[in-house]
Structure 1
Amino acid sequence: MALNRDDYAGQLNALAPPGRALPRESDSQWQRLTQARAGAFSRVDGRAATLHEEADPRTTSELLPDWERVTAMPDPCVTGEQTVSERQDAVVRVLTGTGGASRPYFIGLADDLGYDIEVEDYTAHTVGSDVSEPIRGIDWRWAWTVRAAEETVRQLTVNSGVNEALATWGNERLECVFERLAPAHSILIFAYGETSW
Protein backbone atom coordinates (compact mmCIF):
# COMPACT_ATOMS: atom_id res chain seq x y z
CA MET A 1 0.00 0.00 0.00
CA ALA A 2 1.40 3.35 -1.06
CA LEU A 3 1.99 6.05 1.54
CA ASN A 4 0.27 9.38 0.95
CA ARG A 5 1.68 12.94 1.12
CA ASP A 6 0.84 13.38 4.82
CA ASP A 7 2.56 10.11 5.72
CA TYR A 8 5.76 11.24 4.01
CA ALA A 9 5.52 14.75 5.49
CA GLY A 10 5.27 13.20 8.95
CA GLN A 11 8.35 11.06 8.29
CA LEU A 12 10.34 14.02 6.97
CA ASN A 13 9.41 16.10 10.02
CA ALA A 14 10.38 13.22 12.32
CA LEU A 15 13.81 13.05 10.66
CA ALA A 16 14.42 16.82 10.82
CA PRO A 17 16.34 18.13 13.85
CA PRO A 18 14.34 20.27 16.31
CA GLY A 19 14.82 24.03 16.41
CA ARG A 20 13.57 27.39 15.19
CA ALA A 21 15.33 27.02 11.83
CA LEU A 22 12.91 24.22 10.87
CA PRO A 23 9.49 25.40 12.18
CA ARG A 24 6.60 22.96 12.54
CA GLU A 25 3.79 25.46 11.82
CA SER A 26 1.83 24.43 8.74
CA ASP A 27 1.99 27.90 7.12
CA SER A 28 5.80 28.18 7.37
CA GLN A 29 8.08 28.04 4.33
CA TRP A 30 9.80 24.95 5.73
CA GLN A 31 6.53 23.04 6.01
CA ARG A 32 5.49 24.05 2.47
CA LEU A 33 8.83 22.73 1.24
CA THR A 34 8.36 19.55 3.28
CA GLN A 35 4.88 19.07 1.76
CA ALA A 36 6.30 19.50 -1.76
CA ARG A 37 9.01 16.90 -1.09
CA ALA A 38 6.44 14.58 0.50
CA GLY A 39 4.27 14.88 -2.63
CA ALA A 40 7.16 13.77 -4.83
CA PHE A 41 7.90 10.80 -2.57
CA SER A 42 4.20 9.88 -2.53
CA ARG A 43 4.00 9.93 -6.36
CA VAL A 44 7.07 7.68 -6.64
CA ASP A 45 5.62 5.33 -4.04
CA GLY A 46 2.30 5.21 -5.91
CA ARG A 47 4.04 4.41 -9.18
CA ALA A 48 6.01 1.63 -7.47
CA ALA A 49 2.73 0.18 -6.16
CA THR A 50 1.25 0.13 -9.70
CA LEU A 51 4.39 -1.60 -10.97
CA HIS A 52 3.26 -4.65 -9.00
CA GLU A 53 0.14 -4.82 -11.18
CA GLU A 54 2.12 -4.10 -14.35
CA ALA A 55 4.48 -7.00 -13.60
CA ASP A 56 1.55 -9.42 -13.97
CA PRO A 57 0.34 -9.84 -17.58
CA ARG A 58 -3.19 -10.57 -16.33
CA THR A 59 -3.53 -7.05 -14.85
CA THR A 60 -1.12 -4.96 -16.91
CA SER A 61 -2.26 -1.96 -18.91
CA GLU A 62 0.65 0.47 -19.30
CA LEU A 63 3.24 -2.26 -19.94
CA LEU A 64 0.95 -4.37 -22.14
CA PRO A 65 2.80 -3.33 -25.33
CA ASP A 66 6.08 -4.53 -23.75
CA TRP A 67 4.50 -7.85 -22.77
CA GLU A 68 3.21 -8.20 -26.34
CA ARG A 69 6.63 -7.43 -27.79
CA VAL A 70 8.24 -10.11 -25.60
CA THR A 71 5.64 -12.73 -26.57
CA ALA A 72 5.57 -11.80 -30.29
CA MET A 73 2.03 -10.54 -30.10
CA PRO A 74 -0.37 -9.64 -31.56
CA ASP A 75 -1.11 -13.04 -32.97
CA PRO A 76 -0.88 -13.04 -36.78
CA CYS A 77 -4.37 -14.58 -36.79
CA VAL A 78 -5.91 -11.50 -35.21
CA THR A 79 -7.64 -9.18 -37.62
CA GLY A 80 -9.12 -5.91 -36.47
CA GLU A 81 -9.05 -4.43 -33.00
CA GLN A 82 -8.72 -6.50 -29.83
CA THR A 83 -9.99 -5.55 -26.40
CA VAL A 84 -7.48 -5.02 -23.61
CA SER A 85 -8.79 -8.17 -21.95
CA GLU A 86 -8.28 -10.22 -25.14
CA ARG A 87 -4.75 -8.85 -25.48
CA GLN A 88 -3.96 -9.74 -21.85
CA ASP A 89 -5.42 -13.24 -22.33
CA ALA A 90 -3.31 -13.75 -25.45
CA VAL A 91 -0.11 -12.83 -23.59
CA VAL A 92 -0.99 -15.14 -20.69
CA ARG A 93 -1.82 -17.95 -23.15
CA VAL A 94 1.62 -17.64 -24.77
CA LEU A 95 3.45 -17.49 -21.43
CA THR A 96 1.62 -20.39 -19.80
CA GLY A 97 0.83 -22.54 -22.82
CA THR A 98 2.54 -25.91 -23.00
CA GLY A 99 1.29 -26.88 -26.43
CA GLY A 100 -0.13 -30.23 -27.37
CA ALA A 101 -1.76 -32.36 -29.98
CA SER A 102 -4.56 -33.91 -27.98
CA ARG A 103 -8.29 -33.39 -28.20
CA PRO A 104 -8.48 -31.76 -24.71
CA TYR A 105 -5.68 -29.35 -25.65
CA PHE A 106 -7.51 -28.05 -28.72
CA ILE A 107 -10.87 -27.91 -26.94
CA GLY A 108 -9.24 -25.87 -24.15
CA LEU A 109 -7.50 -23.62 -26.67
CA ALA A 110 -10.80 -22.96 -28.43
CA ASP A 111 -12.41 -22.17 -25.08
CA ASP A 112 -9.62 -19.68 -24.32
CA LEU A 113 -10.29 -18.04 -27.68
CA GLY A 114 -14.03 -17.83 -26.91
CA TYR A 115 -15.27 -20.76 -29.02
CA ASP A 116 -17.30 -23.80 -27.98
CA ILE A 117 -16.24 -26.75 -30.14
CA GLU A 118 -16.31 -30.52 -30.46
CA VAL A 119 -13.48 -32.53 -31.98
CA GLU A 120 -14.11 -35.69 -33.98
CA ASP A 121 -11.33 -37.98 -35.16
CA TYR A 122 -11.52 -40.92 -37.52
CA THR A 123 -10.10 -44.39 -38.01
CA ALA A 124 -9.27 -46.12 -41.24
CA HIS A 125 -11.42 -49.08 -42.24
CA THR A 126 -9.51 -52.31 -41.68
CA VAL A 127 -10.26 -56.02 -41.89
CA GLY A 128 -11.31 -56.09 -38.23
CA SER A 129 -13.66 -53.06 -38.53
CA ASP A 130 -17.38 -53.38 -37.92
CA VAL A 131 -19.42 -53.72 -41.12
CA SER A 132 -21.59 -50.74 -40.16
CA GLU A 133 -18.59 -48.36 -40.01
CA PRO A 134 -17.94 -46.13 -43.03
CA ILE A 135 -15.22 -47.34 -45.37
CA ARG A 136 -12.39 -44.86 -45.09
CA GLY A 137 -8.92 -45.04 -46.59
CA ILE A 138 -5.70 -45.08 -44.58
CA ASP A 139 -5.32 -41.28 -44.80
CA TRP A 140 -8.43 -40.83 -42.61
CA ARG A 141 -6.50 -41.89 -39.52
CA TRP A 142 -4.77 -38.46 -39.67
CA ALA A 143 -7.98 -36.48 -40.22
CA TRP A 144 -9.94 -34.68 -37.53
CA THR A 145 -12.95 -32.40 -37.64
CA VAL A 146 -13.56 -29.33 -35.51
CA ARG A 147 -17.28 -28.73 -35.13
CA ALA A 148 -18.41 -25.28 -33.99
CA ALA A 149 -21.46 -23.07 -34.12
CA GLU A 150 -22.11 -21.47 -37.49
CA GLU A 151 -21.44 -18.00 -36.11
CA THR A 152 -19.70 -17.55 -32.75
CA VAL A 153 -20.36 -14.30 -30.85
CA ARG A 154 -17.87 -13.19 -28.20
CA GLN A 155 -19.42 -10.70 -25.75
CA LEU A 156 -17.89 -7.72 -23.96
CA THR A 157 -16.05 -8.71 -20.77
CA VAL A 158 -15.92 -6.96 -17.41
CA ASN A 159 -12.34 -5.74 -18.02
CA SER A 160 -13.18 -4.21 -21.41
CA GLY A 161 -12.61 -0.54 -22.03
CA VAL A 162 -15.12 2.13 -22.97
CA ASN A 163 -13.95 2.34 -26.58
CA GLU A 164 -14.14 -1.42 -27.20
CA ALA A 165 -16.81 -3.25 -29.17
CA LEU A 166 -19.71 -4.77 -27.24
CA ALA A 167 -19.38 -8.02 -29.22
CA THR A 168 -17.38 -9.60 -32.02
CA TRP A 169 -18.33 -12.55 -34.16
CA GLY A 170 -16.90 -14.88 -36.74
CA ASN A 171 -14.82 -18.05 -36.90
CA GLU A 172 -11.81 -16.86 -38.90
CA ARG A 173 -9.65 -16.57 -35.82
CA LEU A 174 -10.44 -20.13 -34.74
CA GLU A 175 -9.47 -21.48 -38.15
CA CYS A 176 -6.27 -19.45 -38.35
CA VAL A 177 -5.02 -20.46 -34.88
CA PHE A 178 -5.92 -24.13 -35.34
CA GLU A 179 -4.35 -24.35 -38.79
CA ARG A 180 -1.16 -22.83 -37.41
CA LEU A 181 -1.01 -25.13 -34.35
CA ALA A 182 -2.38 -28.38 -35.81
CA PRO A 183 0.14 -31.21 -36.10
CA ALA A 184 1.81 -31.03 -39.52
CA HIS A 185 0.86 -34.59 -40.47
CA SER A 186 -2.84 -34.12 -39.72
CA ILE A 187 -5.72 -33.18 -42.00
CA LEU A 188 -7.89 -30.54 -40.34
CA ILE A 189 -11.54 -30.15 -41.34
CA PHE A 190 -13.91 -27.45 -40.07
CA ALA A 191 -17.66 -28.02 -39.88
CA TYR A 192 -20.01 -25.25 -38.76
CA GLY A 193 -23.54 -25.63 -37.50
CA GLU A 194 -23.16 -29.41 -37.13
CA THR A 195 -22.69 -29.77 -33.40
CA SER A 196 -24.48 -32.14 -31.06
CA TRP A 197 -25.26 -29.50 -28.44
Structure 2
Amino acid sequence: MDLEKQYRSMVGHLLPYGPAWDKSEPILLSLALTLSKTHVRLDDLMQEINPKTTTELIDRYEQICGLPDSCYPLDVQTLTTRRNRLDSKINLVGGISKEFFLQVLKANGYLDATITNYNNDVFTCESTCQDYLYDEEWRFYWIVNIPHDYQITEMTCNDGCDSHLRKWGDKQIECIIEKLCPSHTYVIFKYGAINA
Protein backbone atom coordinates (compact mmCIF):
# COMPACT_ATOMS: atom_id res chain seq x y z
CA MET A 1 0.00 0.00 0.00
CA ASP A 2 1.45 3.36 -0.97
CA LEU A 3 1.73 6.30 1.38
CA GLU A 4 -1.16 8.32 -0.07
CA LYS A 5 -3.55 5.36 0.31
CA GLN A 6 -2.40 4.90 3.90
CA TYR A 7 -3.12 8.56 4.70
CA ARG A 8 -6.50 8.35 2.91
CA SER A 9 -7.37 5.39 5.13
CA MET A 10 -6.14 7.17 8.29
CA VAL A 11 -8.04 10.39 7.50
CA GLY A 12 -11.17 8.36 6.73
CA HIS A 13 -10.92 6.62 10.09
CA LEU A 14 -10.76 9.97 11.88
CA LEU A 15 -14.26 10.92 10.67
CA PRO A 16 -17.25 10.26 12.91
CA TYR A 17 -19.51 7.36 11.90
CA GLY A 18 -22.71 8.07 10.04
CA PRO A 19 -24.25 8.69 6.62
CA ALA A 20 -23.35 12.42 6.66
CA TRP A 21 -19.62 11.73 6.48
CA ASP A 22 -18.25 10.72 3.09
CA LYS A 23 -14.73 9.24 3.10
CA SER A 24 -14.27 10.07 -0.58
CA GLU A 25 -14.80 13.80 -0.07
CA PRO A 26 -12.33 15.76 -2.30
CA ILE A 27 -11.17 17.87 0.64
CA LEU A 28 -10.24 14.74 2.59
CA LEU A 29 -8.49 13.25 -0.45
CA SER A 30 -6.44 16.44 -0.92
CA LEU A 31 -5.59 16.40 2.79
CA ALA A 32 -4.32 12.82 2.45
CA LEU A 33 -2.23 13.85 -0.60
CA THR A 34 -0.75 16.80 1.31
CA LEU A 35 0.05 14.64 4.32
CA SER A 36 1.77 12.00 2.16
CA LYS A 37 3.88 14.66 0.38
CA THR A 38 4.79 16.18 3.76
CA HIS A 39 5.80 12.73 5.02
CA VAL A 40 8.07 12.16 2.01
CA ARG A 41 9.59 15.63 2.43
CA LEU A 42 10.30 14.98 6.13
CA ASP A 43 12.01 11.71 5.18
CA ASP A 44 14.19 13.69 2.75
CA LEU A 45 15.03 16.24 5.44
CA MET A 46 16.09 13.45 7.80
CA GLN A 47 18.87 12.69 5.29
CA GLU A 48 20.06 16.29 5.65
CA ILE A 49 20.88 15.82 9.33
CA ASN A 50 23.81 13.54 8.51
CA PRO A 51 26.76 15.41 6.90
CA LYS A 52 27.57 12.27 4.87
CA THR A 53 24.18 12.36 3.11
CA THR A 54 23.35 16.08 3.01
CA THR A 55 22.66 17.78 -0.29
CA GLU A 56 20.36 20.76 0.26
CA LEU A 57 21.96 22.01 3.48
CA ILE A 58 25.60 21.40 2.56
CA ASP A 59 26.28 25.10 1.88
CA ARG A 60 24.87 26.04 5.29
CA TYR A 61 26.85 23.29 7.06
CA GLU A 62 30.04 24.41 5.32
CA GLN A 63 29.44 28.01 6.32
CA ILE A 64 28.99 27.01 9.97
CA CYS A 65 32.15 24.84 9.90
CA GLY A 66 34.33 27.37 8.10
CA LEU A 67 34.55 25.35 4.91
CA PRO A 68 35.83 25.33 2.27
CA ASP A 69 39.18 26.21 3.78
CA SER A 70 42.56 26.77 2.21
CA CYS A 71 43.32 23.02 2.19
CA TYR A 72 40.63 22.24 -0.38
CA PRO A 73 40.40 24.43 -3.47
CA LEU A 74 36.84 25.06 -4.64
CA ASP A 75 37.40 24.02 -8.24
CA VAL A 76 38.35 20.40 -7.46
CA GLN A 77 35.61 19.54 -4.97
CA THR A 78 32.90 17.08 -5.84
CA LEU A 79 29.79 16.62 -3.70
CA THR A 80 31.32 13.47 -2.21
CA THR A 81 34.56 15.30 -1.36
CA ARG A 82 32.59 18.11 0.27
CA ARG A 83 30.51 15.63 2.29
CA ASN A 84 33.59 13.70 3.48
CA ARG A 85 35.43 16.90 4.44
CA LEU A 86 32.35 18.18 6.28
CA ASP A 87 31.90 14.86 8.08
CA SER A 88 35.53 14.77 9.16
CA LYS A 89 35.38 18.39 10.34
CA ILE A 90 32.21 17.86 12.39
CA ASN A 91 33.10 14.44 13.82
CA LEU A 92 36.84 14.96 14.34
CA VAL A 93 37.60 14.22 17.96
CA GLY A 94 41.06 15.76 17.87
CA GLY A 95 44.23 14.90 19.62
CA ILE A 96 47.98 15.28 19.61
CA SER A 97 48.98 11.64 19.65
CA LYS A 98 50.74 9.72 16.93
CA GLU A 99 47.67 7.49 16.54
CA PHE A 100 45.43 10.51 15.92
CA PHE A 101 47.59 11.79 13.07
CA LEU A 102 47.86 8.28 11.57
CA GLN A 103 44.05 8.15 11.64
CA VAL A 104 43.87 11.51 9.83
CA LEU A 105 46.34 10.23 7.22
CA LYS A 106 44.29 7.05 6.73
CA ALA A 107 41.07 9.06 6.37
CA ASN A 108 42.74 10.98 3.56
CA GLY A 109 43.89 7.89 1.69
CA TYR A 110 47.42 7.37 3.09
CA LEU A 111 46.93 3.95 4.62
CA ASP A 112 50.62 3.06 4.77
CA ALA A 113 52.00 6.35 6.12
CA THR A 114 54.11 6.31 9.28
CA ILE A 115 55.28 8.94 11.74
CA THR A 116 58.76 9.32 13.23
CA ASN A 117 59.28 11.21 16.46
CA TYR A 118 62.59 12.47 17.85
CA ASN A 119 61.66 12.43 21.52
CA ASN A 120 64.22 9.85 22.67
CA ASP A 121 67.51 10.57 24.37
CA VAL A 122 69.84 13.17 22.90
CA PHE A 123 72.85 11.90 20.94
CA THR A 124 75.94 11.75 23.17
CA CYS A 125 79.38 10.20 23.03
CA GLU A 126 77.86 7.06 24.58
CA SER A 127 75.24 6.67 21.83
CA THR A 128 75.51 3.83 19.31
CA CYS A 129 76.31 4.33 15.63
CA GLN A 130 72.68 3.64 14.70
CA ASP A 131 71.29 6.48 16.83
CA TYR A 132 70.10 9.66 15.15
CA LEU A 133 72.25 12.78 15.32
CA TYR A 134 70.07 15.45 16.84
CA ASP A 135 70.02 17.75 19.80
CA GLU A 136 67.28 18.71 22.25
CA GLU A 137 65.57 21.00 19.73
CA TRP A 138 64.66 17.99 17.60
CA ARG A 139 62.10 16.81 20.13
CA PHE A 140 59.77 19.44 18.59
CA TYR A 141 60.13 17.94 15.08
CA TRP A 142 58.32 14.97 13.67
CA ILE A 143 58.28 13.38 10.24
CA VAL A 144 55.32 12.12 8.24
CA ASN A 145 56.71 9.29 6.08
CA ILE A 146 54.66 8.65 2.94
CA PRO A 147 56.22 5.51 1.43
CA HIS A 148 54.97 5.72 -2.14
CA ASP A 149 55.97 8.25 -4.76
CA TYR A 150 52.79 10.31 -4.45
CA GLN A 151 52.63 13.19 -6.90
CA ILE A 152 56.32 13.25 -7.80
CA THR A 153 56.93 15.18 -11.03
CA GLU A 154 60.26 15.03 -12.84
CA MET A 155 61.58 17.84 -15.04
CA THR A 156 61.34 17.12 -18.77
CA CYS A 157 63.15 18.57 -21.76
CA ASN A 158 60.03 20.64 -22.54
CA ASP A 159 60.23 22.50 -19.19
CA GLY A 160 61.89 25.88 -18.86
CA CYS A 161 65.46 26.13 -17.58
CA ASP A 162 64.21 27.77 -14.37
CA SER A 163 61.94 24.78 -13.60
CA HIS A 164 62.60 22.49 -10.66
CA LEU A 165 64.41 19.24 -11.41
CA ARG A 166 61.85 17.43 -9.32
CA LYS A 167 58.65 18.46 -7.53
CA TRP A 168 56.79 16.35 -5.04
CA GLY A 169 54.23 16.53 -2.32
CA ASP A 170 50.52 16.58 -1.66
CA LYS A 171 49.59 20.11 -0.65
CA GLN A 172 46.19 19.02 0.68
CA ILE A 173 47.45 16.52 3.24
CA GLU A 174 50.31 18.83 4.22
CA CYS A 175 47.82 21.66 4.81
CA ILE A 176 45.52 19.43 6.90
CA ILE A 177 48.32 18.05 9.07
CA GLU A 178 49.88 21.49 9.58
CA LYS A 179 46.51 22.91 10.67
CA LEU A 180 46.02 20.09 13.17
CA CYS A 181 49.55 19.78 14.54
CA PRO A 182 50.40 21.29 17.93
CA SER A 183 51.64 24.86 17.56
CA HIS A 184 54.99 24.16 19.27
CA THR A 185 55.96 21.42 16.80
CA TYR A 186 57.31 21.33 13.25
CA VAL A 187 56.26 18.76 10.66
CA ILE A 188 58.55 17.42 7.95
CA PHE A 189 56.97 15.49 5.07
CA LYS A 190 59.08 12.75 3.55
CA TYR A 191 57.84 11.19 0.31
CA GLY A 192 58.95 7.82 -1.07
CA ALA A 193 60.43 6.64 2.26
CA ILE A 194 59.32 3.91 4.62
CA ASN A 195 60.94 5.41 7.69
CA ALA A 196 63.13 8.39 8.49
**Aligned positions, number:** 172
Q: For residue 132 of structure 1, what is the amino acid of its counterpart?
A: Q
Q: Which whole-Å CA distance do the structure 2 matches of 1:15 and 1:102 have between them?
A: 60
What's the C-alpha RMSD, in Å, of the aligned pairs? 2.4
Show the counterpart of 2:179. 180
- TM-score normalised according to structure 2 size: 0.75
Task: After superposition, give the CA deviation of every residue in 1:152-176 in whole Å (9 maximum; x if it has no partner).
Answer: 6xxxxxxxxxxxxxxxxx7110111
Q: Which whole-Å CA distance do the structure 1 matches of 2:27 and 2:55 have between them?
A: 34
* SS in structure 1 of the partner of residue 87 of structure 2: helix
Q: Which whole-Å CA distance do the structure 2 matches of 1:82 and 1:18 have between them?
A: 59
Q: 1:1-197 alignment to 2 at 5 Å?
A: 4-18=3-17, 22-24=21-23, 30=25, 32-79=26-73, 80-116=75-111, 117-122=113-118, 123=120, 124-148=122-146, 149-151=148-150, 171-195=170-194
Q: Which runs of 5+ in 1 are unaligned?
A: 153-169
Cα shift at 1:190 = 1.0
Q: Which whole-Å CA distance do the structure 1 matches of 2:96 and 2:127 have between them?
A: 25
Cα shift at 1:189 = 0.9
Q: For residue 119 of structure 1, what is the amino acid of its counterpart?
A: I
Q: Which whole-Å CA distance do the structure 2 matches of 1:18 and 1:133 have between them?
A: 91
Cα shift at 1:140 = 1.9
* SS in structure 2 of the partner of residue 195 of structure 1: coil
- TM-score normalised according to structure 1 size: 0.74
Q: Which runs of 5+ in 2 are unaligned?
A: 152-168
Q: Which whole-Å CA distance do the structure 2 matches of 1:180 and 1:130 have between them?
A: 36
Show the counterpart of 1:161. none
Show the counterpart of 1:159. none
Query: Sequence identity, in percent?
Result: 27
* SS in structure 1 of the partner of residue 130 of structure 2: coil
